[in-house]
Amino acid sequence: MPPTTQPEITRHEYDVVVIGAGGAGLRAAIAAREQGKRTAVISKSLFGKAHTVMAEGGAAAALGNANADDEWRVHFRDTIRGGKFLNDPRMAELHAREAPERILELEYWGALFDRTADGRISQRNFGGHEYPRLAHVGDRTGLEMIRTLQQRVVALQQADAAELGDPEARIRVFAETAITRLITEGGDGDAPGRIVGAFGYRRVDGGFVVFEAPAVVLATGGIGKAFRTTSNSWEYTGDGHALALRAGAGLINMEFVQFHPTGMVWPPSVKGILVTESVRGDGGVLRNADGERFMFNYVPDVFRSQYAETEEEADGWYDDPANHRRPPELLPRDEVARAINTEVKEGRGSPHGGVFLDVSSRLPAEEIRRRLPSMHHQFKELADVDITAEPMEVGPTCHYVMGGVRVDADTAASDVPGLFAAGEVAGGMHGSNRLGGNSLSDLLVFGRRAGMGAAAYLDGLGGRPDAGAVVDRAASEAAAEALRFLKQGDGENPYTLHAELQETMNDLVGIIRRGPEMERALERLDELAERSLMLSAPGDRVYNPGWHLALALPNMVLVSRAVTAAALERTESRGGHTRDDHPGMSPEWRRVSLEVRSDASDRVTLTRRPVADIPAELLGLFEHDELAKYLTKEELPETVAADEAAEEGQS
């Protein structure tokens, strides 16, 4: 084992370093490799274990297999509606256009989606999607996707082995390796320097690694571990968000954190674990302690016309969607999460502080086991609940961050030359609230674009910059910094600090927010930031989880600061950001994205950026009445023009 005193650093040279081996990371790596770039994939856990495996419901793509009326424009419209018009329209457009191709490509690589009667990929209903649109495999779609991408990487390695004699000649996976610093060169006060490498450590033996590479793709996922109740795994410590900030990139929309409406609430040890939205898509209903289907009371004005008003109408929709409006259980996630929160707060909750999600009285037991096998298994094993016979207890759980690195839609490039981002760590695509199913397709569409973007950036560079000296210097600095936690023997226990951070974020910057509470949160975060420098991890460097947590905590604190600062600034409620003290949605705020940057001491600053306008031909997809609920007067197109365009778009 390497001594703790003399950091020995393994050096690698690659064209593209992809940080993160989930859906976005693997898709980016495949794209970069297919462009002939030597690519490294850095995975914090074992290869194939990334958080993508947790995705259950499916991948949204307007294939039109289940309903021939579906097409990318409808998907685009649903996405914008779900995001409450704050989405980057170009990203939403690319996503809706390219998702079908990406899904079919997965199938071509060996993914086995559920089928329709005529042998195509079957699609299921999901919250916020007008048509059945989610390509799925039971309720384990994420696993299918990660496995397929993993096997595609292996296939490429086999091709390289045959051609070049070495399977890792052009694509190599560094499992159980975490990046703690991006290395940049040049740059001045205003403009960030360009990427020349990345530094990190191997979990298995505690050894340090440095990658000299002109392009880095961030695909690190989200930030959920900053919250107490979360569906996210330990990996979601906001590494990519923090790395980007420290490298000089900006994050946008960080105030928008999605609380999935249905997480398990009991037993305490599994609190937060996800209950897939497919339960509702396949007929499950939400009831309060009085047995009332309360979602009918929570349909907001902007969605009034699309959702059923009676139980009969709602129940008719599953079999005959053309002549019925959708059940309100399938409202976008932010609406359902808030409704559950209110029911519990007003005393109509279930025994363990959630509400009831019932599918047992809606489908035959056999059908439930077939459609929702892993949910059945999960409740049976973890909560002793048989979902075919009794309702589940569910409540909101921190699930996804809409905010992330501000990137160019077409290339996934950030402000920092050579730095790209895709997947959850990138911001803009989902606006203020992500629709279920749009995440898996997002990973594929923008993962690929990031890999191609990085490859194109390299081609544009001409030669490979010689940055060896810069990289080595930064690496030895970073190594000394990382070792610090092992040496300060009497510092704080990282587990305690982590628990305090989670309390702070959950209680003060959670699903319902208030100005004074968030001010208090910022103060606490300042204090936590200071304490996070004084952590101590006993033991040596070999697979030492205390040390790993200590290294991740400053990232979580920084990201929490970004979330809190942005949430305090935005004085309205929209999507994944609900202000008790500013309950309304403001057309003026709709035009603004908040961008967070940080300084050398991890302090964050905010700037306001205009949200790009939706191109006129796409704006025409929406009814004038609907637009009037979101946009300011001067943004609204001429009434007549709008109506005409709407007809055109729907024909």
Partner 1 sequence: MSERVFRVWRGSGDGGGLAEYRVEVNEGEVVLDVLHRLQATQTPDLAVRWNCKAGKCGSCSVEINGHPRLSCMTRMSVFEPDEVVTVTPMRTFPVVRDLVCDVSYNYQKAREIPSFAPDPAKKPGDFRMQQVDVERMQEFRKCIECFLCNNVCHVIRDHEENKEHFSGPRYLMRVAELEMHPEDTADRRLIAQDEFGMGYCNITKCCSEVCPEGIRITDNALIPLKERVADRKYDPLVWLGSKIGRRPKDTPPVPNVGRYSNRT
Partner 2 sequence: MSPTDSTRLPTSRARIPQRTLRTDRWWLGPILTTLGLATFVIYATLRVFQQDHYWVQEHHYLTPFYSPCIALQCDPDAALLGRLPVEFPPLFPYALVSLPILLLFRLTCYYYRKAYYRSIWQAPTACAVREPHRTYTGETRPLMLGQNGHRYFFYAAFVITGINTWDMLIAFFHGTDGGFGIGLGNVIMLVNVIMLWGYTLSCHSCRHVFGGRLNSFGRNPVRYWMWSRISTLNHRHMLFGWFSIATLMITDAYIALIASGTIDDLRILN
Subset of residues 194 to 253 that bind partner 2, contact rule: CB under 8 A: 202, 204-205, 207
Burial classification of residue 346, based on how many CB atoms lie within 10 Å of its CB (0-12 exposed, 13-18 middle, 19 or more buried) = exposed
The smaller minimum CB distance to partner 2, of residues 111 and 336, is found at 111
Q: Which of residues 7-66 bind partner 2 (CB under 8 A)?
A: 8, 10-12
Size of the site for partner 2 (CB under 8 A): 14
Residue 333 CB neighbours (<10 A) = 26
For residue 134, the minimal CB distance to partner 1 (Å) is 16
Which amino acid, one-letter code, is at 375?
Answer: M
The DSSP secondary-structure symbol of 54 reads G
Helix H or strand E segment including 152:
helix 141-164
Smallest CA-to-CA distance from 568 within 508, 524, 611 is with 508
Please give the Cα distance from 22 to 16 (Å, whole number): 16
Q: Give which of partner 2, partner 1, none residue 12 binds (C-beta under 5 to 8 Å, depending on kind).
A: partner 2
Query: Among the residues of 35-139, which ranges form H helices?
Result: 72-82, 89-108
Q: Are 41 and 34 in contact (CB under 8 A)?
A: no
Q: Give which of partner 1, partner 2, none residue 71 binds (C-beta under 5 to 8 Å, depending on kind).
A: none
Q: Does 6 bind partner 2 (CB under 8 A)?
A: no
The smaller minimum CB distance to partner 1, of residues 151 and 476, is found at 151
The smaller minimum CB distance to partner 2, of residues 202 and 579, is found at 202
Q: Give which of partner 1, partner 2, none residue 172 binds (C-beta under 5 to 8 Å, depending on kind).
A: partner 2
Q: Give which of partner 2, partner 1, none residue 207 binds (C-beta under 5 to 8 Å, depending on kind).
A: partner 2
Instruction: Output the CA angle 538-539-540, nearest 5 degrees.
Output: 135
Question: What 3-state class would DSSP assign to 123?
Answer: strand
Query: Among the residues of 190-258, which ranges form H helices?
Result: 239-247
Q: Give which of partner 1, partner 2, none residue 374 binds (C-beta under 5 to 8 Å, depending on kind).
A: partner 1
The smaller minimum CB distance to partner 1, of residues 500 and 623, is found at 500
- State the catalytic residue, choosing from 172, 181, 228, 260: 260
Q: Does 163 bind partner 2 (CB under 8 A)?
A: no
Burial classification of residue 198, based on how many CB atoms lie within 10 Å of its CB (0-12 exposed, 13-18 middle, 19 or more buried) = buried
Q: Are 232 and 50 in contact (CB under 8 A)?
A: no
For residue 163, the minimal CB distance to partner 2 (Å) is 16
For residue 346, the minimal CB distance to partner 1 (Å) is 26
For residue 110, the minimal CB distance to partner 1 (Å) is 4
Instruction: Output the CA angle 79-359-74, nearest 5 degrees.
Output: 15
Q: Which of 69, 163, 168, 648 binds partner 2 (CB under 8 A)?
A: 168
The CA dihedral of 59, 62, 63, 65, to the nearest 10 degrees, is 100
Q: Are 516 and 264 in contact (CB under 8 A)?
A: no
For residue 441, the minimal CB distance to partner 1 (Å) is 15
The smaller minimum CB distance to partner 1, of residues 108 and 616, is found at 108
Q: Does 172 bind partner 2 (CB under 8 A)?
A: yes
Catalytic annotation present for 170: no
The smaller minimum CB distance to partner 2, of residues 13 and 569, is found at 13
Smallest CA-to-CA distance from 59 within 120, 140, 118, 116 is with 140
Q: Give which of partner 2, partner 1, none residue 560 binds (C-beta under 5 to 8 Å, depending on kind).
A: none
Q: Give which of partner 1, partner 2, none residue 515 binds (C-beta under 5 to 8 Å, depending on kind).
A: none
Q: Give which of partner 1, partner 2, none residue 47 binds (C-beta under 5 to 8 Å, depending on kind).
A: partner 1
Please give the Cα distance from 611 to 590 (Å, whole number): 8
For residue 5, the minimal CB distance to partner 2 (Å) is 17
Question: What 3-state class would DSSP assign to 502?
Answer: helix
Instruction: Output the CA angle 123-129-131, nearest 5 degrees.
Output: 50
For residue 109, the minimal CB distance to partner 2 (Å) is 18
Catalytic annotation present for 260: yes
Q: Are 265 and 396 in contact (CB under 8 A)?
A: no
For residue 133, the minimal CB distance to partner 1 (Å) is 16
The smaller minimum CB distance to partner 1, of residues 111 and 505, is found at 111
Question: What 3-state class would DSSP assign to 406?
Answer: strand
Neighbouring-strand partners of residue 605? 597
The smaller minimum CB distance to partner 2, of residues 168 and 507, is found at 168
- State the catalytic residue, choosing from 51, 124, 228, 280: 280
Q: Are 131 and 58 in contact (CB under 8 A)?
A: no
Residues marked active site are found at 260, 280
The footprint of partner 2 (CB under 8 A) covers: 1-2, 8, 10-12, 119, 166, 168, 172, 202, 204-205, 207
